[in-house]
Amino acid sequence: MWFKNLQLFRLQAEFNLDAGQIEDGLRRAQFQRCGKMEMSSIGFRAPRPKLSDALVYPVHGCYLVALAAEDKILPASVVKEMVEVKVTEIEEQQDRKVGKKERRDLAERVTEELLPRAFSRVRQTWAYIDPANRWVVVDASSPKKGEEMLEWLRKCIDGLRATPLRTQGNASLIMTDWLQTGEPPAIFTIDDDCELKTPGEDGAVVRCSRQDLHADEVRNHLAAGKLVTKLAVTWQDRLSMTVTEDLQIKKLGFLDMLQEQAKESGADNADEQFDANFAIMTGELANLLPELIDVMGGEMPQT
């Protein structure tokens, strides 16, 4: 398995729980499908269900978990349409107007009638805990999904304290300097995608894709005061990624060297290959993240 987008959280203290203790905690919020009258449900479920119903999957010192959420799909327009039908029936049959409170009551009853027949959507978010390197890494494209995972981990696992990664340097200013000078740190090469923004809430945004970022057009935007908010880079010819101004990692790619390493792992079946891929991924990220922190000015001291 290969994560695609990373939300990074730093464990604030030593994390000494083993797989069994983590399992006991996650059982407090095991995922159950929505009941007939429920709009949503969320909880942890087995990350490797074909192998085991365990809610935590340990590989090479890291713990893989999966948070599932089910949401009933009940469009407001459908509820509104049925309410209007019932309102019309009442007003015609009883020769009176339907007030706001009665409309709300009708909406609740219509929702109750429709819920058991509503379609549902289940989404799943992956994460792993790396106690040795003090990381919680969530495979999610938005901070909201990352925080959701962390919220449920905190609820279920006693002693788990983690906060979003913060560095002493301003990532936007640092990456802007890389692009202006054409001299990123030796561990990174600049690729051909970036996003530039004029400072301020309503600042203009320029997105460059598959473009030479050293071209005059890009330099002119930088000279006009725009700052880098996203920058595509490659790390050590091993990982490609887009780093954002708030230290999210997007479009994470594991390059040929690692793909070959995975193929040559000696795995005899899909399960062994999964473990090999996961071990390679967590190992590479354990090496990348300290170097990323270093070029961003070091980690912000924990309070």
3-class secondary structure, 154: helix
**Residue 235 vs residues 109, 155, 211, 222, 291: alpha-carbon distances, Å:** 56, 35, 19, 24, 10
Q: What φ, ψ does residue 74 adopt, rounded to 5°?
A: -135, 90
**Does residue 95 belong to any structural domain of this protein?**
yes
* CA trace torsion 209, 220, 186, 279 (10° rounding): -30
| Digit-coded pLDDT (tens) for 247-264 | 999 999 999 888 888 888
Residue whose entry in the numeric block shows the structure tokens 């269900």:
49
Question: Residue 302 — very low, low, confident or very high, per pLDDT cuts 50/70/90?
Answer: confident
The overall pTM is greater than 0.85: yes
Residue whose entry in the numeric block shows the structure tokens 């929505």:
34
**Does residue 300 belong to any structural domain of this protein?**
no
Question: Residue 193 — very low, low, confident or very high, per pLDDT cuts 50/70/90?
Answer: very high
**Does residue 272 belong to any structural domain of this protein?**
yes
Instruction: Give me the pLDDT at residue 253, please.
Output: 96
Q: What does the block give as tokens for 283?
A: 């190992």
Question: Residue 49 — very low, low, confident or very high, per pLDDT cuts 50/70/90?
Answer: very high
Shared domain check, 288 and 237: yes
Domain span at residue 22? 6-73+117-164
Shared domain check, 288 and 156: no
| Overall average pLDDT of the 266-293 stretch | 94
Shared domain check, 259 and 195: yes
**Does residue 159 belong to any structural domain of this protein?**
yes
Residue 39 pLDDT > 90? no
CB burial class (10 A; 0-12, 13-18, 19+) of residue 30?
A: middle
Higher-pLDDT residue of 160, 113: 160
Higher-pLDDT residue of 293, 103: 293
User: Domains in the chain: how many in total?
Assistant: 3
**Does residue 303 belong to any structural domain of this protein?**
no
**Does residue 302 belong to any structural domain of this protein?**
no
Q: What does the block give as tokens for 122?
A: 């289940």
Shared domain check, 121 and 109: no
Shared domain check, 276 and 152: no
3-class secondary structure, 66: strand
Percentages (nearest 5) of helix, strand, coil residues in the chain: 40, 30, 35
Instruction: Give me the pLDDT at residue 156, please.
Output: 97
Q: What φ, ψ does residue 18 adopt, rounded to 5°?
A: -95, 180
Shared domain check, 158 and 59: yes
Higher-pLDDT residue of 119, 147: 147
